[in-house]
Structure 1
């Protein structure tokens, strides 16, 4: 009986219950990085249980910068959970004893990924970040990245740094760098084409691009 129990326990062990180590050589966004293992093999890592804003969303670039500050150029250990459909290794990145996945949530730079998350402390960390209005939770109604992706806007490009203006100044009175993401979501709320473009590119206001051609509020952006 004991032997049977041991066999069953062994068989029920997750297939990808393993660890890999290496140096982080790239950070793609707030939840994806690449490490170089000891045998010089690059491995793309999708941080488990979290979902960071897409690059074209508000806080997309800041989330990427946050993860870079945490792990770029450092030696890390990845607690592997699985391999996803894109052949990425999904797991928890540990750097200097810190759970980078959890830290991204604490900083307000990622959501708890409700579809795949299972660790209660991640959900608790999100609740605390939301309550403190840190990071992306400083916005009135941030759009979860899984909803953003379903909207079909993943091909929209943004600048390499969120603080820089996405559009050049086109008049003597309007500068895109003066805009900040607020609660505006409709064309009638936009003061100019530049502001509409800023909200589409940086703030996830997809409703102002009804036909999905990348040009918002076409009545004012002709």
Structure 2
């Protein structure tokens, strides 16, 4: 019975279009946990960005920046789907502001590319590159996708 109830709760979270709660944990620069009022924490992967892996150059700084921005704060998440790792994918806002846009603008993440698209935060990424902020201050920043392909995932 407990397994059925947990399954129903997860399905309800996945099908919801909005989620509001307090951030209880930041895993890395693009993944966090949100505890809705009266509910279990939900793992959220921020849509539209790719932050450095924890074991990658700038990974710790990206995680720290996200934690400073959202940890123990009320956030709103416009959910989109679930990924292969069963994380909820969504746009995270704090005080009505898009957290992913801020992370990219400050140089803590890349706008997530898909095929020929530069991604939803291409303007913010270009601003960070031009100003040499964050990871773009490094001589040769490596996109997380290329890093994972070359080195695999970081050990948890």
TM-score by length of 1: 0.60
Cα shift at 1:140: 1.7
Alignment gaps of 5+ in structure 1: 1-14, 158-222
Matched, 1:54 2:53: yes
CA–CA distance in structure 1, aligned partners of residues 89 and 44 of structure 2? 6
For 1:101, the equivalent position in structure 2 comes to: 100
* Contact 2:135 2:141 (C-alpha < 8 Å) held by counterparts: yes
The structure whose Rg is larger is: 1
Cα deviation code 1:126-173 (max 9, x no counterpart): 01100110000001210000000011342358xxxxxxxxxxxxxxxx
CA–CA distance in structure 1, aligned partners of residues 63 and 140 of structure 2? 20
Specify the SS of the correspondent of 1:77: strand
For 1:197, the equivalent position in structure 2 comes to: none
Specify the SS of the correspondent of 2:151: coil
1:126-205 aligned at under 5 Å gives the runs 126-155=125-154
* Contact 2:48 2:119 (C-alpha < 8 Å) held by counterparts: no
Runs of 4+ more than 3 Å apart: 118-121
Q: Which structure is higher in RCO with an 8 Å CA cutoff and minimum separation 6?
A: 2
Paired residue total = 143
Alignment RMSD, CA only?
2.2
Alignment gaps of 5+ in structure 2: 1-13
Cα shift at 1:41: 1.3
Cα shift at 1:120: 6.2
Cα shift at 1:38: 1.1
For 1:29, the equivalent position in structure 2 comes to: 28
TM-score by length of 2: 0.84
Cα deviation code 1:61-86 (max 9, x no counterpart): 00000000110000100011111111
More strand by share: 2
